[in-house]
Every structure is written in structure tokens, then in C-alpha cells.
Amino acid sequence: MRKFDKPDFDVKEIVLTCASSISDSEKKERIENVSEYIDQKSREYNSLAESHLLFQIDIHNMVDGLVSAEEMKQLYEDKFVKHKYVRPKYYDKIMILTNGICPVCELGQVGNLDHYLPKSLYPTYTLTPYNLIPICRDCNFKKKTETFSSYEKAPIHPYYDETDDEIWLKAELNIVENGLVAVYFVNSDIVNDVFVKKCISHMIIFDLYKKYATEAAREISENILMWKKGINKWGEDGFRDYINDIIKSLECIHNNSWKVALYRALLENVNVLYDV
């Protein structure tokens, strides 16, 4: 969950480009006629998102009373996603914005674009680039077409939410019958308590407590022998130095990954290695 630069395409140009190959001239004209309205509304979307007020946008079923949600969906699927001249201009470029990794879970490969505000309920933003998030299929399935009544109930928006200023993702190591497990939680000590609630919503919506614990279980099982050897060989202080170097290296990528949270938990509790 890192912040990424939002795609910087002119939405009016996107609408007109998508409309240009429509053969039904009446429909083509109607869509061209709403391009200015969509442009203006997309600017409003950007301002509201910057102020964390995106939830104030009302659900609707027509774009400026002229084009239906179904027509916008068709325009998106037939032209924006599939048209051989339109797709490379926008869709393919947005798909690679996060280097192929899902920005929501940071585990899966990007499979398609998700409409942050679902296109069936907010058709005006079907082609708004700031509303299109490259996402893995699993996260897309989990989000479904929910609406969110407040900033804190909505998931983190990868183009607008500053997620790396503070350490909000933490873990603790617990000994269980068959070894060591990591339990993830959102750090409630950070200053911005609204953001704490938002992070918790994000973790629940995308089932990330469980996913991160599973990733951590693999990391622990692959490394535990080496960690135990390390603490015996270098002593606790030497082992802490080694773990600290791993943390610093992971922090260069980002501050709140499941992996850096796991190594911070190990650093805080290296003694746990004597008991497993």
C-alpha cells in the first residue's frame, strides 16, 4: 500500500477517443456531448479525493441525464479495454503504473483495472483515470461493488492517501504448538486516528490480516534455522545488527510491507528464538 502517481491523461480526450469508433451516430453524438461534463466532474473528483471527501459523491444512474451506466460500461469494455488503437493509449499504460504488482495487497499480480468508485453506481467516472486502479483479481473480487459512507470506511486510495509517513502496519510473534507465527495489527499509536480506522477497513475488506500471516509463515519457516544459528553465533546484539540491516534495506522499498513488519517484530523480540 504505497502511494503512486495518478495517471495523468485528459479525460475529455479519453471519452472522445473511445467514442470516435462508435458506428451508431446518435449514440456517438450523445457520448461526445457529455465529454465536457465528465471532464468537469473528474476535476471535482480530484479535488474531493485530495480533501478525503470522495464519499460525498452521490450514486447515480445517468451521466448528465444523457448516457446510461450500461452505455458507459459498454464504452469502457468495448473501446477503452478492447479496441486495438484505444487500449495501448490508456488502459495498457495504467496497467503498468505499479510495475505489475497489486498496490492494494502488494502480493498479487495486476490482473485488471478496478473502478475505485464502481462504474455501475458512479457511471460518470467510468473513464476517469484517477478512478482506475491496477489491481489483482483476488482484491478486485473481494472489493465487489461496495459503496463507502465515509473516508475511514473506504479502502486506501493508492493515488491520494499518504501511506508511508508513519508505521501503521505492525506484527507480533507468538509461539504456538508447531512453531512461530506472526499476528498482524494496525498500530493505534499513530497520530492520525481517522487514518488508523481507514487502515483497519482496508485490511478487513481485502482479508489482509490472514494473507500477511500466511506470507509471514512461509518466511519464518524458510529462515528460522538461519535465525537460530545467527543468534547463537553472533549473540543477541550481533543478531539485532543483522536484522536491523534487513529492516533498513526493506524500508528503502517501503515502510509498511508485511515483511518489514515481520522483521521489526523479530527485532523487538529476538528472545523468542530460544523457545522455538
Q: What residues make contact with Zn ion under the rule CB under 5 A?
A: 102, 104-105, 108, 136, 139
Between 46 and 98, name the residue whose CB sits nearer to Zn ion: 98
Please enumerate, as own/partner, the contacts of 42-51 that have beta carbons within 8 Å and a separation of 24 or more: 42/11, 42/125, 42/128, 42/130, 45/117, 45/125, 45/128, 45/130, 45/131, 46/130, 49/130, 49/157, 49/159, 49/160, 50/160
What span, in angstroms and rounded, lies between the C-alpha atoms of 80 and 222?
43
Between 75 and 102, name the residue whose CB sits nearer to Zn ion: 102
Between 135 and 173, name the residue whose CB sits nearer to Zn ion: 135
**Closest CB 100 distance from Zn ion, rounded Å:** 12
**Closest CB 98 distance from Zn ion, rounded Å:** 10
Helix (H, G, I), strand (E, B) or coil at 41: helix
Between 114 and 152, name the residue whose CB sits nearer to Zn ion: 114
What span, in angstroms and rounded, lies between the C-alpha atoms of 74 and 84?
15
**Closest CB 108 distance from Zn ion, rounded Å:** 4
Beta strands (DSSP E) in the chain are: 62-63, 67-68, 112-115, 132-135, 169-176, 179-186
Between 135 and 266, name the residue whose CB sits nearer to Zn ion: 135
**Closest CB 186 distance from Zn ion, rounded Å:** 18
**Closest CB 196 distance from Zn ion, rounded Å:** 21
